[in-house]
Structure 1
Amino acid sequence: MPFDPHTTPLSAEEARVLATLLEKSRTVPDSYPLTLNSLASGCNQKTSRDPVMQLGEGQIQEALDNLRRRSLVTEIGGARTSRWEHNFPRGVGVPDQSAVLLGLLMLRGPQTAGELRINSERWHRFADISSVEAFLDELQSRSQEKGGPLVILLPRAPGAREPRWAHLLCGPVDAQALSAASAAGAAPAPDTALTERVAALEAQVAQLRDTLAHVCEQLGVEPPCA
């Protein structure tokens, strides 16, 4: 039966855990599937997260157990410790490109199609903004037989150049409230070149952090705070 966020929505913790597994499967495949400790580091990152969260291992384990019951994650037993992997595209019933967009929306909050294209660079390279919009439109027009829409286009905020998209995996959202919140916290729109440079630097920092966490895990030491 397809995943229906309107009848069985994800909690904020479940969404963060699921999206983090999806992110790390694409950005650091050498250290994937993830241990509980690595997953905690990814969930609690201070960068590329909106909102920033501080989840304990107990909360993450509970979220994993709930996601496993919905066939959205799988536990892989190892000689030393268990590891976890997502089953996002099949479990939700979407193609990989759509799963990437949903994962970014869960991790970073509402974004424009242009922002999604830039932020997805390490996950999947979309040809252009039109291809991003095509997948978003498909997610928005998803039939009720498949579980209903998974994204919503928010009203354009005053002064904003483009409207933002939000996911519906945690259930219905107040589009007006989200749009107003985005407008209240919005800074003047940066030029595209600067945005791309900042996104590239953030990607490099995130990759270095993931590599450090992997090395610390192999050495059996605690990684520094994210």
Structure 2
Amino acid sequence: MQLRPLNPVEARVLATLMEKARTVPDSYPLTLNSLVAGCNQKTSREPLMNVSDAQAQEALDSLKLLSLVFESSGSRVARWEHNFQRGVGVPEQSAVLLGLLMLRGPQTAGELRINSERWYRFADISSVEAFLDELQDRAPEKGGPLVIKLARAPGMREQRWAHLLCGPVEPGDTQSQAPLTGAQLHLEGRVEALENEVAMLRSAVQNIYEQLGMSQPGHDE
């Protein structure tokens, strides 16, 4: 399927839905409030963004027209799910890699394998590279390449990969960012886990209010 290039907010909204479907399934599908909070997380995001409710809703409406998201039924409050794998026509593993690249920016195959642990467990780096190569060599009749291998950044042994869902990227655009150390990755993982726990608690409270037919204080939904 040939998609038009996504804008940065559409990519963030779509990838956040993809992430939360796997990391906090009890809170999924997401309400607009939960989605915006996920888009604006301070961890596991590159670049950091400050997406408003209106921007997120506009992105959802546009993505719905592309059949990449849909509104789930059966809830008083609107909740949203992604349809990325079917909408783009890629296997699960490729969808995971593309979601991570949309959320965290360019990464090496090794970084992708580490960062995908809570989404999907790849056997080894070579399996990650095989799916990346497949995405890079995607046939024109299927929509063309979805990733590109960037030039090696100064001081780095491995080349990074970038997604093409927001349009062409120059191979020489390294978007250099110092790779995280093991300690930084560990700390980031702990903060992300805490953020996900908070999201689950918020969802649980919201479900209780829904069952009681009440609106949460301070929420218009």
TM-score by length of 2: 0.89
Q: Which amino acid aligns with 1:212?
A: L
Query: Which residue of structure 2 aligns with residue 186 of structure 1?
Result: 178
How big is the shift at 1:78? 3.5
Query: Which residue of structure 1 aligns with residue 140 of structure 2?
Result: 144
SS of the residue aligned with 2:172? helix
Deviations 1:62-107 (CA, angstroms, capped at 9, x unpaired): 1011101010001123341111100000000100110000000000
Deviations 1:117-173 (CA, angstroms, capped at 9, x unpaired): 111111001111111111100000000000000000000011101110000000101
Q: Which amino acid aligns with 1:44?
A: N
For residues 83 and 72 of structure 2, what CA distance do their matches in structure 1 show?
12
For residues 105 and 131 of structure 1, what CA distance do their matches in structure 2 show?
16
RMSD: 1.9
Unaligned stretches of 5+ in structure 2?
A: 210-215
How big is the shift at 1:206? 3.5
14, 35, 50: which is aligned to 1:39? 35
Alignment of 1:90-101 (within 5 A): 90-101=86-97
Residue 103 of structure 1 pairs with residue 92 of structure 2? no
For residues 88 and 139 of structure 1, what CA distance do their matches in structure 2 show?
15
For residues 158 and 221 of structure 1, what CA distance do their matches in structure 2 show?
51
Query: Which residue of structure 1 aligns with residue 129 of structure 2?
Result: 133
172, 197, 219: which is aligned to 1:208? 197
The answer on whether the counterparts of 2:43 and 2:192 sit within 8 Å (CA) in structure 1 is no
For residues 63 and 3 of structure 1, what CA distance do their matches in structure 2 show?
19
Query: Which residue of structure 2 aligns with residue 13 of structure 1?
Result: 9
SS of the residue aligned with 2:30? coil
SS of the residue aligned with 1:22? helix
Identity, % of aligned pairs? 63
Give the number of aligned pairs: 212
Q: Which amino acid aligns with 2:64?
A: R
Q: Which amino acid aligns with 1:210?
A: A
How big is the shift at 1:31? 1.1
For residues 127 and 194 of structure 1, what CA distance do their matches in structure 2 show?
23
For residues 197 and 73 of structure 1, what CA distance do their matches in structure 2 show?
32
Deviations 1:24-57 (CA, angstroms, capped at 9, x unpaired): 0001111111111111111111111111111111
Alignment CA distance shift 1:81-1:202 (3 Å): same
Query: Which residue of structure 1 aligns with residue 213 of structure 2?
Result: none
Unaligned stretches of 5+ in structure 1?
A: none
Query: Which residue of structure 2 aligns with residue 120 of structure 1?
Result: 116
